Structure 1
Amino acid sequence: MKLWHKFTAPMVLSGLAVMAAPHAVQAQSVIKIDGSSTVFPIAEAVAEEFQIAKRGKVRVTVGIAGTGGGFKRFCRGETDISNASRPILKEEMDACRAAGVKYLEIPVAFDALTVVVNPANSYVKSLTVADLKKMWEPGAQGRISSWKQVRGEFPGDRLMLFGPGADSGTFDYFTEAVNGKAKASRGDFTASEDDNVLVQGVENNKSALGYFGYAYYIAHKDRLRAVPIINSKGQAVSPSIEAVIDGSYEPLSRPLFIYVRDSAAQRAEIQDFIKFYLTDGAALVKEVGYVPLPDQAYKLALKHFTDKKLGTVFGGVPEVGVTIENLLAREGKL
């Protein structure tokens, strides 16, 4: 099995199908996926392994429009599966409903949303949510421009910020967790839907700070430093698989999802793909740097898919602090 720790810049993935002869390509079934760049490494790994298992009979394409951008395409019926780093929101539910698109919600992993600085930064030992808010709240725009303004003991180095764009579910989650309202953020920072751009921005600037999914940190951990975050108990906790499982890495721990269009779910290749995702996918989740769900969660998700359980167990509003136990309870296991 291929190792996925060093995945490269996200791009539309066509896998091994591009090497097939023209007559073989015509006979292929195609599964179209788009959405979250955070979920992309998982989807990329699963898609390539699935294509190998299918010996070129199925082609899987994976895009990185961001969670919000992916749902726009999904609700227009342009994709079969939408990757999401947060649950579907009310306005997206309404858009799907208006277009007659029904869907199945499938949790696939947990993420430790990671705040990073350049390794040359020796003064930031940990940060509180209040520190992050001081940097990122809308009122910080044009006003908070140095590290010293964040905390008095920091030097006067220029504060350079890198973060996901407005179509990103990571942007939605971070702003909700830190600023108290999804999408409430200063606008004068370097934004990109491609997390590798953010990685490079922090890597190349000694006074930079950025945030993105844990897998992107793991893939570049020799060039970045993860900042421990002070949790609600006053503990400075670094992002890790263990800290997500025990619930101590909060409030930046969150579930990751895929959404399957109900009409697409009738197709044999989609059914095979989802079964593969929820059986072989757990190992790939861990390989790319995320936290696999407990085995019973994947079994329950597969049962819900097989039983055609439509809709979402969330209320269409942003939520912070959902743990693995919370998720299992909502899915009806506990």
Structure 2
Amino acid sequence: MLKFPAGKALGISAVLGVLISAPGVAGANGVVKIDGSSTVYPITEAVAEDFQIAKKGKIRVTVGISGTGGGFKKFCRGEIDIANASRPILKKEMDDCKAAGVQYVEMPVAYDALTVVINPKNDWSKAITVAELKTIWEPAAQGKIMKWSQVNPAWPNEPIKLFGAGADSGTFDYFTEAIVGKAKSSRGDFTASEDDNVLVQGVASDRNALGFFGFAYYVENQKKVKAVAVDGGKGGVLPSAKTVEDGSYQPLSRPIFIYVNVKAAEKPEVKEFIEFYMSNAMVLVKEVKFFPLPAQVYTTNLEHLSKKKIGTVFGGQSEVGLRIEELLKREASF
């Protein structure tokens, strides 16, 4: 059974209310504050739910959704203990954290397959090339590429309705860099949201819609939306555990992360939560339909926290097409 946290389906405004009103948390002795990526949210929320049960309500965990960029803003201001991130921390965010004296440990927690989706009634677009996606999403397309037939003459002369991640989202950053060639470089005339449920509903309600979001949201909503095979030059490939693990789903496979404030991790409740997270990640990541990393990665994450190995292996830049084996090499040598 898909263990997708119920709070997410209620939308962003309900998330904190659901958590605060959860049974048994009123007498909590400590609070762990987390915010950031909507993509990473289901993993961290699943961990938080199990952790709070294990602790019998003695520790409360709040998990908000403000997008990766919004989460890093709060993180670097010291407002939260942990940031969920669907991309690595960027140079400006590193500078902001440094200026505020916030040191952090970067922890990859899973791989995701950013999924391009269409309405189930769309019977013409079974596969789409990276070049066609660029034609749709690049800034020059704004106000000009308005119909499916303009992207591919074999497709119908029907309006194309676009749904995508908001500008504060790490998913938006990664998608635009992977498809357009530059992070945040995109047309602006589309329905944008940090809440993936809004995107799901938009695509599900319009035959001519196309959108993108993380794989878990696609899996949860397979009756409402349909995945499109992405052709990165070697034929169309659908996202799956196999195509992510063998590196063939490119360029839209990506690692996703949590970032832990080193000072906050000195608090027992935060330390216990991180230990619980890494000990249970392989099972819970799979339950919410992401792709777990090898067990050694989660052990290494705890070692890095224990040894206070602060910083990032990405140098302040996002990176497209990073395969799992390359990520493992970087983390092991950090």
In the superposition, the TM-score normalised over structure 2's length comes to 0.95
How far residue 281 of structure 1 moved from its aligned partner, in angstroms, is: 1.9
CA positional deviation for 1:28: 2.3
CA gap of 1:205–1:16, structure 2 versus 1, over 3 A, is closer
Letter of the 1:18 partner, please give it.
S
Paired AA for residue 161 in structure 1: L
- 1:3-22 superposed matches below 5 A: 3-5=2-4, 7=6, 8-11=9-12, 12-13=15-16, 18-19=21-22
- Indicate the residue corresponding to 1:52 in structure 2: 53
1:111 aligns to what SS in structure 2? strand
CA distance in 1, matches of 2:40, 2:10: 13
Q: Distance in 1 between matches of 2:39 and 2:19?
A: 23
Instruction: Give secondary structure in 2 for the equivalent of 1:200.
Output: helix
Task: Provide Cα deviations, 1:4-44, integer angstroms capped at 9, x if missing partner.
Answer: 147424442466763557xx735420000000000000011
The amino acid across from 1:91 in the alignment is K
Q: 1:6 to 1:106 in 2, by over 3 A?
A: closer
The equivalences for 1:1-334 within 5 A come to 3-5=2-4, 7=6, 8-11=9-12, 12-13=15-16, 18-19=21-22, 25-232=26-233, 234-332=234-332
CA contact (8 A) 1:104 1:259 kept: yes
CA–CA distance in structure 2, aligned partners of residues 6 and 44 of structure 1:
6
Aligned length: 330
Q: 1:300 to 1:14 in 2, by over 3 A?
A: farther
Find the residue that maps to 1:127 and give its secondary structure. Answer: strand
Q: Conserved in 1, the CA contact under 8 Å of 2:5 and 2:45?
A: no
Q: What is the TM-score of this pair, normalised by structure 1? A: 0.95
> C-alpha distance in 2, partners of 1:238/1:315?
30
Greater mean alpha carbon deviation, residues 266-275 or residues 181-190: 266-275
Identity %: 59
Runs of 4+ that moved beyond 3 A: 13-17
What secondary structure, in the 3-state scheme, does the structure 1 residue paired with 2:111 have?
Answer: strand
Q: Post-superposition shift, 1:88?
A: 0.1
Would the aligned equivalents of 1:275 and 1:302 in 2 still touch at CA under 8 Å? Answer: yes
Q: Is the 8 A contact 2:2 2:220 kept in 1?
A: no
Structure 1 residues 244 and 104: alpha-carbon distance in aligned structure 2, compared to 1, 3 A threshold: same
Distance in 1, Cα, partners of 2:72 & 2:27: 28
Q: Is the 8 A contact 2:37 2:84 kept in 1?
A: yes
Unaligned 5+ residue runs, structure 2?
none
Deviation of 1:296 (Å)? 1.2
Query: Amino acid of the residue matched to residue 205 of structure 2?
Result: N
- For the Cα contact (< 8 Å) 1:14–1:61, is it kept in 2? no
Aligned partners of 1:20 and 1:126: how far apart in 2? 46
Q: Which moved more, 1:314-323 or 1:199-208?
A: 314-323
Conserved? CA contact 1:16–1:51, under 8 Å: no
Asked whether the 8 Å contact 1:51–1:59 carries over to 2, the reply is yes
- Mark the CA change 1:257 to 1:19 in structure 2 (over 3 Å): closer, same or farther: closer
Distance 1:216 1:20, change over 3 A: closer
Give distance in 2, aligned partners of 1:20 and 1:57. 11
Letter in 2 for 1:37: S
Q: Distance in 2 between matches of 1:263 and 1:287?
A: 31
SS of 2:57's equivalent in the other structure is coil
Alpha-carbon shift at residue 231 of structure 1 (Å): 2.4
> After superposition, what is the alpha-carbon deviation per residue over 1:70-113, rounded to whole angstroms, capped at 9, x for unaligned?
00010011000000000000000001111111111000000000
Q: What secondary structure does 1:131 align onto?
A: helix
Task: Give how far 1:293 is off.
Answer: 0.3
Aligned mates of 2:28, 2:236 — CA distance in 1: 54
Residue identity opposite 1:82 in structure 2 = A
Q: Deviations over 1:302-332 (max 9, x none)?
A: 2112221111111101210111101101002
Structure 2 counterpart SS, 1:278: helix
